[in-house]
Structure 1
Amino acid sequence: MSGQVLVLWDIDRTLLYVGDIDRQAYRDTYHELTGRSAGTLPKRGTGTTMPLAILRMLVENGIAEDEAASLLPTPVELLPQAQRRRIDDIRRDGVLLPGQSPRWERCMTSRGSCPRSSPGTSSPTHC
């Protein structure tokens, strides 16, 4: 499949359960951006896009809304990087939810694939 990219977002969390791995990626991103620990993380299962989830996380952790909006491009770039750093955890600990196609399982274990748990970026993630 050279030259082809499949992008599949699990917006409603019905494909893959990753436990706290996605939460840790948000924690890592917030810490990398601010040097502090996040007290509040995005709510789970809302279907909110990643940029909106990050914006809310910044504001809910005390960053003024106008400043959070101006900072937003940076964490939008940082979060996929944080997820890529945890790709081995996702492959090891991620659990396909019932009813998923065997093709998705092959995708999960394929070299170069990168399962994602957070939607909303405009470009695919490559691992």
Structure 2
Amino acid sequence: MTEPRVLVIEDERDVRDLLAHYLEGLHCAVRTADSGESGLELARDDPPDLVILDVRLPHMGGHEVARTLHADPRTSHCKLVITSVLDMEDICDIESDGILHKPFRRADVERIVKLLQGGR
């Protein structure tokens, strides 16, 4: 099986780096973006298997990024996991395959990778 390709879109450097570290340790090929705009560009150029998307991004927020990913035929197949400190009611309108609540642990990220691989 090839390495799952994961794109992390997160504006907080520490969180982005921690997610990348955990994912690489789980044998994922990881790319990162610090904004919605740059994340969309990366996703369109080389669509990942999974996008981990922060809801609170400057300029283009996570809601808009998610809508754009779902609407674009190049990225509509990508699994999407939302990461946020927000309450469920603030993110329930985003169509996603899962939620990774901040603060998260390595085990939480492992669960997301298993989702990607079709496990439970």
Q: TM-score range by the shorter chain?
A: under 0.3
Computing the radius of gyration from Cα coordinates, the structure with the larger value is 1
Q: Give me the TM-score of the superposition, normalised by structure 2.
A: 0.27
Higher strand proportion: 2
Higher helix proportion: 1
Q: Of the two structures, which has the highest relative contact order with CA contacts closer than 8 Å and spacing of 6 or more?
A: 1
Q: Give me the TM-score of the superposition, normalised by structure 1.
A: 0.26
